[in-house]
């Protein structure tokens, strides 16, 4: 093979490899990010786009959840072992604690975070306002 042919093949291979992996390098993977929903404005979602909620009966910074037993079956405690967030959020605002049942729950600014079992697709906010004590989490 001539050197021109080898050079052309090398450039083609570089282009193909770069195209195959280029999108992954551009699209970061976050464990928590911000979404917007009409009148609700901006709110936190998990890495899959599912809405995160806070419970007014929890005491912020208390490292305890008031949502236990049947409540925790409907309002799933959110846990992310590592927090990766976009520039609009601070990873240091997130923490975690061990619940009474031994699981770990992530907090945001001291408030335990939850997912609502009836939210089925990213962007659902079916739990917002329920019982006057559940709300989406504003960043």
- For residue 85, the number of C-alpha atoms closer than 13 Å in the C-beta half-sphere is 20
Domain count, the chain: 1
Pairwise CA distance, residues 128 & 114, whole Å: 11
pLDDT at 89 over 60: yes
Any domain includes 33: yes
- Residue bearing tokens 């976009």: 86
Residues 119-125 have a mean pLDDT of: 95
Domain containing 99: what range?
Answer: 29-136
Any domain includes 5: no
Given a contact cutoff of 8 angstroms between Cβ atoms, the answer to whether 12 and 20 are in contact is no
Whole-number average pLDDT of the chain: 85
Any domain includes 19: no
Burial of 37 (0-12, 13-18, 19+ CB in 10 A): middle
Pairwise CA distance, residues 133 & 74, whole Å: 14
pLDDT at 67 over 50: yes
Any domain includes 105: yes
| φ, ψ of residue 120 in degrees (nearest 5) | -105, -30
DSSP secondary structure letter of residue 89: S
């Amino acid at each position: 093979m001539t050197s021109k042919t080898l050079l052309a093949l090398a450039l083609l291979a570089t282009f193909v490899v770069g195209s195959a992996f280029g999108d992954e390098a551009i699209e970061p993977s976050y464990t928590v990010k911000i979404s917007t929903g009409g009148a609700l404005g901006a709110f936190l979602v998990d890495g899959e786009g599912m809405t995160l909620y806070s419970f007014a009966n929890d005491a912020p910074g208390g490292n305890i959840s008031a949502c236990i037993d049947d409540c925790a079956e409907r309002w799933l405690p959110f846990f992310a072992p590592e927090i990766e967030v976009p520039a609009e959020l601070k990873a240091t605002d997130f923490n975690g604690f061990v619940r009474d049942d031994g699981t770990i729950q992530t907090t945001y600014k001291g408030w335990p975070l939850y997912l609502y079992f009836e939210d089925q697709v990213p962007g659902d906010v079916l739990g917002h306002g329920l019982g006057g004590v559940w709300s989406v989490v504003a960043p």
